[in-house]
Structures are given as structure tokens and as C-alpha cells.
């Protein structure tokens, strides 16, 4: 089995990828713009690539994980001919980024897999870790074993390399918004002088009722049926306006909530105010 890899980028995520591959028995070469970040990996047995592509002739796979595609493209501009080596690009980007990068890799006679990591670094290598990947069937077959070492739940989405980023963005949006919802709530409780331990316990019980809401909303959107109204868009808008009013007088930051209120107002304006909030998907398009 081919088990030689170069990992380019050793930030929080790249370091976790490299450490996992080392632990899985891959002969692992590493490179990072700031060399000190490689120290722990070198102590654990990784080899240092003197410049970004110095070790590329020795490896079968290159895993890239840097801040963005602009940095990847800049780094890749000095990459030599790849002679059918597999580039696994795990940097977060857009579908268009992935398509352009695939073109660059092919131009250098390389094989390409694009992926999105749906996990934190601490979960890399876990059986439950989800990675979404795409690329030609042939390249997936060649890379599957390595990718499954990084995430036991890795899913191959097909040949269209933009596919992981579309799904990544659609999952990233609820993830960041749900986390921001908690942060907004803590901010409001803080401003109101509420006991934060007490409040955080109350918030911890929310997911039970939210789970039912999430299921109701996803079902309503799939079935295009918004008639199961627990609280209408108009009712939510009225309630949220009181929160915004309070925010103005109590030094509470309501920027996030103002954005939500604009969506609710649009729903009312466009005639879906009496429907359940999932009907806002109609005014988003």
C-alpha cells in the first residue's frame, strides 16, 4: 500500500491531520510557513520538507490545509510536475475555488480530490469524524484508505469537486448561527444581571424543544407545506421587535437579531406572515 504523504499547512487543522496520518503509520513529511509549528510533529517522527515542495518527489499524496485557496494557489504556483500524485485539498473554499484548483492540479499532471472537513481538529482521526470529498472515482479509490484514517465517516460525493463546498456551506451556516445564538443569549443574560450558571442550565434544556422545531421545519420545507403553524412569522416579528426595543434602551447588542427581524419583516411584506417561520425559505429565493 502507498503510505507516503506530504502535509502542507500545520495550523490547528493541518497539525491534527499530520499527527493522525503519522499515528496511522504513514511516512509523513510536513511543511509550514512558520517552521516552529512543525516542532512537535518532528519530535513524533514526521520529516521536514525544506521548502514547500522539496519532499513532493518522495510522496504519493499531498494533503493541503491552509487558510484559504488564495494561499493554496500562491503556494501551488511553484509546485513541480506531479506525475500522477494525488493532491487532497482540505482548505475551506467555494465550489469555484475547487474547480479552478482541480484545473491547476491537472495542468501539472496531478490527480485531485477536494474535501471539506466537518469537524474540529480534536475529532480528526475519530470513527465519527465526517469529511466530505469529491473527485474522479479512480482517484477516490486511490485515496479512500488515507481519507478514512482522517475521518471514519468520510463520504464520497461524486466527481463534481465543488460538491463538498456546497454542502459544507449549508452545514456551516446553521453551525455558526446556533453557536452565535448561545453567545447572544449569554450576552443578554449578562447585561440583565441574571445568574449566568442558572441561565446556562436553562439554555441547556432548550435543545429538547429545539429538536422538535428543527424536525418540523425541515419536514415543512421538504414537503413545501407550512400549514402546521405553532407561531406565525407575524407573531415572531412582534415578539422580536420588543427584544430590539429593549436592546436600544439597555445597551444590548442586537445586530444579529436585527438581521433576523429584517427577514421576518420581508416574510410579512411578501404575504407569508400567517405561516410558520419555515415559510421564510420562500422569501429567501
The piece of 18-26, 71-79, 134-142, 260-268 that touches ligand NAP (CB under 6 A) is: 71-79
C-alpha cell at 269: 411584506
Minimum Å distance from CB 33 to ligand NAP?
3
When asked if residue 39 is in the footprint of ligand NAP (CB under 6 A), the reply is no
| Backbone dihedral angles phi then psi of residue 94, each to the nearest 5 degrees | -105, 170
Stretch touching ligand NAP by CB under 6 A, among 32-40, 76-84, 147-155, 242-250: 32-40
CB crowding 230-259: b at 16 or more within 10 Å, else e? eebbbebbeebeeeeeebeeeebebeebee
**With binding defined as CB under 6 A, does residue 33 bind ligand NAP?**
yes
Q: x/- contact string, 106-125, with ligand NAP (CB under 6 A)?
A: -----------x--xx----
Q: Give how many residues touch ligand NAP by CB under 6 A.
A: 21
CA distance 66 to 59: 19
Measured distance CA(260)–CA(237) in Å, rounded: 9
Q: How far is the CB of 284 from ligand NAP (least distance, A)?
A: 24
Contact 7, 75 (CB under 8 A): no
92, 143, 165, 275: which one binds ligand NAP (CB under 6 A): 92
Q: Kindly state whether residue 30 participates in binding ligand NAP, applying the rule CB under 6 A.
A: no
65 touches ligand NAP (CB under 6 A): yes
Residues lying near ligand NAP in the complex (CB under 6 A): 9-14, 32-34, 37, 65-67, 71, 74-75, 91-92, 117, 120-121
Amino acid at each position: 500500500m502507498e503510505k507516503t504523504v506530504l502535509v502542507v499547512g500545520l495550523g490547528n487543522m493541518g497539525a491534527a491531520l499530520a499527527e493522525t496520518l503519522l499515528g496511522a503509520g504513514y511516512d509523513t513529511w510536513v511543511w509550514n510557513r512558520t517552521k516552529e509549528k512543525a516542532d512537535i510533529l518532528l519530535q513524533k517522527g514526521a520529516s521536514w520538507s525544506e521548502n514547500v515542495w522539496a519532499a513532493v518527489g518522495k510522496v504519493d499524496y499531498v494533503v493541503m490545509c491552509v487558510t484559504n485557496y488564495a494561499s493554496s494557489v500562491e503556494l501551488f504556483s511553484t509546485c513541480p510536475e506531479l506525475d500522477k500524485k494525488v493532491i487532497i485539498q482540505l482548505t475551506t473554499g467555494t465550489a469555484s475555488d475547487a474547480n479552478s484548483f482541480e484545473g491547476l492540479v491537472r495542468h501539472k499532471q496531478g490527480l485531485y480530490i477536494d474535501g471539506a472537513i466537518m469537524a474540529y481538529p480534536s475529532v480528526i482521526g475519530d470513527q465519527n469524524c465526517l469529511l466530505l470529498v469529491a473527485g474522479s472515482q479512480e482517484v477516490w479509490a486511490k485515496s479512500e484508505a488515507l481519507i478514512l484514517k482522517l475521518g471514519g465517516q468520510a463520504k464520497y460525493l461524486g466527481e463534481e469537486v465543488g460538491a463538498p463546498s456546497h454542502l459544507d456551506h449549508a452545514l456551516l451556516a446553521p453551525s455558526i448561527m446556533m453557536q452565535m445564538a448561545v453567545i447572544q443569549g449569554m450576552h443578554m443574560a449578562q447585561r440583565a444581571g441574571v445568574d449566568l450558571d442558572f441561565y446556562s442550565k436553562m439554555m441547556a434544556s432548550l435543545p429538547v424543544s429545539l429538536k422538535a422545531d428543527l424536525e418540523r421545519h425541515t419536514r415543512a420545507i421538504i414537503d413545501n407545506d407550512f400549514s402546521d403553524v405553532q407561531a406565525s412569522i407575524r407573531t415572531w416579528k412582534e415578539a422580536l421587535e420588543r427584544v430590539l426595543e429593549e436592546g436600544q434602551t439597555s445597551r444590548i447588542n442586537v445586530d444579529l437579531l436585527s438581521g433576523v427581524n429584517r427577514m421576518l419583516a420581508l416574510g410579512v411584506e411578501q404575504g407569508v406572515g400567517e405561516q410558520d417561520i419555515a415559510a421564510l425559505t420562500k422569501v429567501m429565493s
